[in-house]
Amino acid sequence: MTGFKIVKREDLPKNREWIIRTLAILFSVICAGLVIWILGFNPFNVFSSMITGALGTEIRLQQTILKAIPLIVTSLGILVAFKMKFWNIGGEGQIIMGALAAAYVALNVEGLPKPLMLLLMAAAAMIAGGIWAFIPAFFKAKMGVNETIFTLMLNYIAIKFVTYLQYGPWKSPESQGFPKVAPFPANAVLPKLFGIHIGWVIALLLIILIHIFINHTKKGFEITVVGESKETARYAGMNISSIIIVAMLLSGGLCGLTGMIQASAVEKTLAASLSGGYGFTAIITTWLAQLNAIAVLFVCIAFAVLLQGGAYIQISMQIPAAVADMMQGIILFFVLGSEFFLQYRIKMTKGNTKNREVA
């Protein structure tokens, strides 16, 4: 009797790993192209327009980079938590709370020079994001509460709270009836460098710092060990509860910093929509980067190209937003699905003794 058996791979050569990843990307493009063709569009024109829409002009390139910046910073925050196998799904809420704290400083502290104001806003945002992540970390460390549900629910609390402020106590009297928070003063807006706000410089510096932290510091080593085996960490005398809390303070702090960057440089005010789904998207980019801080840069840029290109074809080719979203979903499905074949192989079994590998 013939059957199938899933077996975990012991070791996969690097060349085989790259072959599998390349084939996943190739099949995703082919499948997305077929769907586009079935819907009546020329797939070659659509794909070329996506590249043009993301990289074709200086303005489009800037828009792509603007989408990559929050993805990179948030992904680095998510990476710290995931490295410890703490499934932080609360990036959205941590971004919002960081933006809220930064907005409070911007709108209530007066007379500070711009560098000091921005540093104070960044510190407040990181503290607020860290506290928002500390809450589920504390309950996880002390009571074993499921962090996935906890962090997910905190997203909605943060978003609704900021929505309440936007429509109520913080609504600007000069908004002419619209639910808007007052704009930030000039000294609370991030400056630009080469036509783009300096968030891109912050993102690059954080990539280096997180890479060093994870790979070359004691605390980074402890986070990695806890993620690989709590029993090993416990046997080595590590304080697991303390490590979880410290890691999540850092994870939430980085997500909170994303909120400050978006509020200060993009929205220039506080808005419940400023997180833009980056907290959820960063989960995907972090996973695709295989929890590697350097790889986060390239994955987030590639994903930003996909997002910006998808937005462009909606306007230039009158392609419905649902089609662009579907294309992104197909590509992500294949790329994420390839992770299965990187971790496992499928064997065909015949009888009780014979089997042969088929993938």
Count of Cβ atoms closer than 10 Å to residue 356 Cβ: 8
- What would the two tokens of residue 239 be? 């304080």
Q: In this predicted model, what pLDDT tens digit does every residue of 66-106 receive, in sequence order? A: 999 999 999 999 999 999 888 889 999 999 999 999 999 99
The domain spans of the chain are 69-278
Whether the CB-CB separation of 314 and 50 falls below 8 Å is answered with no
Backbone angles phi, psi at 9, to 5 degrees: -75, 140
Residue 172: the pLDDT is: 83
Percent of the chain with pLDDT over 70: 96
- Cα dihedral 152, 155, 157, 161 in deg (nearest 10): 180
Residue 358: the pLDDT is: 46
Distance (Å, whole) CA 80 – CA 318: 40
Distance (Å, whole) CA 284 – CA 79: 11
Amino acid at 107: L
Distance (Å, whole) CA 194 – CA 62: 10
Kind and range of the H or E run holding 7: strand 2-8
- What pLDDT band is residue 237 in, cutting at 50, 70 and 90? confident
Average pLDDT over residues 105-126: 93
Fill in the DSSP letter of residue 263.
I
- What would the two tokens of residue 247 be? 């890691």
Distance (Å, whole) CA 73 – CA 53: 24
Average pLDDT over residues 189-201: 92
For the chain, the distance separating the N- and C-terminal CA atoms, rounded to the nearest angstrom, is 19
| Residue given tokens 């306007």 in the structure block | 315
Residue by residue, DSSP assigns 175-200 as: STTS--BPPPPGGGS--EETTEETHH
Distance (Å, whole) CA 84 – CA 230: 9
> Is 354 a residue whose pLDDT tops 80?
no
- What pLDDT band is residue 15 in, cutting at 50, 70 and 90? confident
Residue 117: the pLDDT is: 95
Distance (Å, whole) CA 51 – CA 312: 9
Average pLDDT over residues 36-43: 85
> Is 227 a residue whose pLDDT tops 70?
yes
Looking at per-residue confidence, does 12 or 201 come out higher? 201
pTM to 2 decimal places: 0.87
Kind and range of the H or E run holding 255: helix 240-261
> Is 249 a residue whose pLDDT tops 70?
yes
Single out the residue of 7, 70, 49 nearest to residue 254, CA to CA: 70
> Is 10 a residue whose pLDDT tops 90?
no
Distance (Å, whole) CA 191 – CA 103: 17
Single out the residue of 106, 98, 105 nearest to residue 77, CA to CA: 98
- What pLDDT band is residue 352 in, cutting at 50, 70 and 90? low
Whether the CB-CB separation of 240 and 230 falls below 8 Å is answered with yes
Average pLDDT over residues 27-49: 87
pLDDT, averaged across the chain = 87
Average pLDDT over residues 30-49: 87
Residue 287: the pLDDT is: 84
Average pLDDT over residues 161-176: 87
